[in-house]
Amino acid sequence: MKIHIDLDCFFVSAERILDPYLRNKPVGIGGRSDQHIFSKKNTQQTMSLANNGAFVMSFFQDSPSSGKNDLDKFIDPDGRVRGMLTTSSYEARAFGIKTGCTINEALKKCPNIIIKKPNMKLYQHLSHQLHNFLRLRIPLLEQGSIDEFYGDLSGWIEDKDVPSFIQNLRDEVLEKLDLPISVGAAPSKYTAKLATNKAKPFGCKTIFKEEVDAFIHNIPLDDFPGIGRKTATKLHGYGLQTLGDIQKAKELFLHQTKSTWDLYLRVCGIDKTPIEKEHIRKSIGISRTFDGIRDRQEALRRLTILSRHLSFAIMRMDVIPTTFHVGISYELGAKSKANTSQNRLFSEKLFKDLCQDLFLQAETSPSLRIIRISISTSAFTTHSHRALSLLDYEEDKKQYQLTQKTKKLREKYGLDTLRWGSEI
């Protein structure tokens, strides 16, 4: 049997451990508001790589919260409430508040909602604690994200004993760590995740092999992990609405691509997807959405700030990326992007200049306002085994050593301790 463990409203639950006043109250965790990272003042940001891996981003964070309500942190200089909710408590959801809604919308539906700024250092610490706790009780454990885990109980717990095992596990996590979780169990990872979704909040659900067909029969295909919007639209075009419909359309999936057939097996709960103890991060990126701007010099300033933050994360990870991507989103839904690859020793200056070049290449709609900039890197040399270019190696080495020194200063005094002149 495979099991899936999901922390209930994790960020809210974590805040309640720090401040019991928040218990049984409508609480929302706001996303990072863009006005801080692009400020010309020192924001005293730091970055956490605790629990770092493919399942979780390297988090940049400001100084910790100091009050019961952080709503003021999401009010811009013009007095407008900005930002979105990354999660909310079940008390808030009772008012119709959903993850991804704006803080303004949440306040209209529930004026008494308490808004907290994210404390990623705390969340990663608690996630790491839970990971260590579960490792002592589950022989094969995989961390899927900061708030979810998969386990394999095969040969450890008999199938008939799984329901009592996961219930005891749920109760023990609450008792020892003060964290509410929900647990699903099934023959496969994906079906176990579906079972967890049905068990929430603070519930347990076991789906035995002979129960899988009946369980998935009426579940909307949009709810299946791994079926995105485009795939869902395509499947709806075939007249498929539920996972049961997919199961009955075997011939449709059998004669398409391997990935399509793999999806069919996962939906039916008969795939052999293993539990992976370790994930290798294959990419890292950063992006921000903001009010539309026409000034391209301001856009380049913001690009420089994003490249500085991402450069710091790359140096902390101790990897050398060789593939680079810059994306631009405009008003009216227009988008553009540019990519490149190069095998040079990484440095902050090289990365900044490269990002600016890619931005200029990607700029296809100069008359439109820019509302989002994204940067990402991948194909790390440690994984791709690409050889570094020797043509610029000596100069690149000097820049790399300089970047190492600036990294140490930022680790000690904050990310904004050293900034490019163009940022100010």
Both 43 and 81 in a single domain? yes
pLDDT > 70: percent of the chain = 90
Same-domain check for residues 273 and 290: no
CATH number at residue 76: 3.40.1170.60
What SS3 state is found at 422? Answer: helix
Domain finish residue from 99, 120, 141 = 120
| Res 424 pLDDT > 50 | yes
β-sheet bridge partners, residue 102: 84
Verify that 112 and 38 share a domain, yes or no: yes
Q: How confident is the model at residue 329 (pLDDT cuts 50, 70, 90)?
A: very high
Q: Which letter does DSSP use for residue 71 in this model?
A: G
The residues near 374 (Cβ < 8 Å, ≥ 6 apart) are 285, 286, 287, 325, 326, 327, 328, 329
Mean pLDDT of 204-216: 97
**Tens digit of pLDDT for each residue in 21-46?**
999 999 999 875 555 677 766 655 66
Q: What is the CATH number of the domain that holds 370?
A: 3.30.1490.100
Q: Do 246 and 353 belong to one domain?
A: no
Name the pLDDT band for 416 (thresholds 50, 70, 90): confident
- Domain termination residue (choose one: 279, 301, 324): 279
- How would residue 49 be classed by pLDDT, with cut points 50, 70 and 90? low
Q: How many domains does the chain have?
A: 3
User: Is residue 58 included in any domain, yes or no?
Assistant: yes
Average pLDDT of the chain is 88
CA 333, CA 326: separation in Å to the nearest integer?
17
Any idea what the Cα angle at residue 146 is, between residues 140 and 150, rounded to 5°? 25
Does 263 share its domain with 329?
no
The answer to whether the CB of 219 falls within 8 A of the CB of 44 is: no
Q: Which positions ≥6 away from 192 have C-beta within 8 Å?
A: 2, 3, 4, 150, 184, 185, 186, 207
Q: Is residue 48 located within the same domain as residue 96?
A: yes
pLDDT at 45: 60
Confidence (pTM):
0.79
Q: How high is the pLDDT of residue 266?
A: 95
Domain stop point among 92, 120, 148: 120
Q: With respect to residue 139, please indicate whether it lies within any of the assigned structural domains.
A: no
- Structural domain includes residue 111: yes
Contact 253, 235 (CB under 8 A): no
**52, pLDDT greater than 50:** no
Phi/psi-derived region of residue 283, left when phi > 0, alpha when psi is between -120 and 50, beta in every other case: beta
| Residues 367 and 387 occupy one common structural domain | yes
Strands 181-186 and 2-7: antiparallel
Helix (H, G, I), strand (E, B) or coil at 330: strand
Classify residue 17: in a domain, yes or no: yes
What pLDDT digit, counting tens, does each position of 110-167 carry? 999 999 988 888 999 999 999 999 999 999 999 998 999 999 999 999 999 999 999 9
Statement: residue 59 has pLDDT above 60: no
pLDDT at 65 over 80: no
Q: What is the pLDDT at residue 51? A: 43
The answer to whether position 155 is within a domain reads: no
Note down the domain range covering 61. 8-120
Q: Do residues 26 and 15 touch, judged by C-beta distance below 8 A?
A: no
- Residues 232 and 313 placed together within one structural domain of the fold: no
pLDDT in tens, 228-287: 889 999 999 999 999 999 999 999 998 788 889 999 999 999 998 898 877 777 889 998
Residue 39 is predicted with a pLDDT of: 72
Tell me, yes or no, whether 258 and 271 share the same domain. Answer: yes
- 379-413, pLDDT tens digit by residue? 887 655 556 667 777 888 899 899 999 989 888 88
Q: What is the DSSP letter of 73?
A: G
